[in-house]
């Protein structure tokens, strides 16, 4: 029987690369004197587009579990970056970015943009388009499989 070579699979390489990219961006934020994480940056980015989104939809957009998004939002609320307000339904809570959250986003965005440029240094525009397309197809495959399990 041939051994499964996990470390050579594209799935493992994709996950490992994404994890390393996330860790590096977190380090860049800290080196610039900013106590924020990539997860917080993603949430602030979503709120700038969709302020007042309900927590469930936010967790889906950020691809985070309900418990993980709650933990991150607790930290962000303590830092006064966001505020949660009860929605029409007592169980739903809407999330709003604060002025402080907007100012933090404005500090983080240029750092994230510069880092993103570094990630794809040496890639042609065509390679980036192909890579994006492949990742989107992979995500569609994953979502299709998840839908089949429900």
Q: Where are the alpha helices (DSSP H) in 5-150?
A: 10-31, 38-49, 55-61, 66-78, 99-119, 125-149
Measured CA to CA, the distance from residue 87 to residue 98 in angstroms comes to 17
In the 8-state DSSP scheme, what is residue 132?
H
Measured CA to CA, the distance from residue 74 to residue 62 in angstroms comes to 16
pLDDT tens track of the chain, all 150 residues?
Answer: 788 888 889 889 999 999 999 999 999 999 999 999 999 999 999 999 999 999 999 999 998 998 999 999 999 999 999 999 887 766 778 999 999 999 999 999 999 999 999 999 999 999 999 999 999 999 899 888 776 765
The whole model's pTM is what? 0.87
């Amino acid at each position: 029987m041939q051994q499964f070579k996990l470390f050579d699979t594209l799935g493992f390489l994709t996950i490992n690369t994404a994890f390393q990219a996330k860790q590096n961006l977190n380090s860049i934020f800290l080196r610039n004197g900013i106590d924020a994480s990539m997860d917080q940056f993603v949430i602030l980015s979503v709120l700038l587009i969709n302020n007042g989104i309900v927590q469930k939809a936010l967790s889906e957009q950020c691809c985070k579990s309900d418990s993980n998004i709650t933990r991150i939002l607790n930290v962000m609320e303590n830092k006064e970056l966001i505020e949660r307000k009860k929605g029409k339904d007592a169980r739903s809570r809407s999330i709003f970015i604060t002025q402080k959250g907007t100012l933090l986003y404005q500090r983080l965005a240029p750092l994230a943009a510069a880092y993103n440029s570094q990630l794809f240094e040496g890639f042609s525009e065509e390679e980036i388009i192909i890579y994006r397309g492949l990742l989107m197809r992979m995500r569609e495959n994953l979502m299709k499989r998840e839908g089949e399990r429900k």
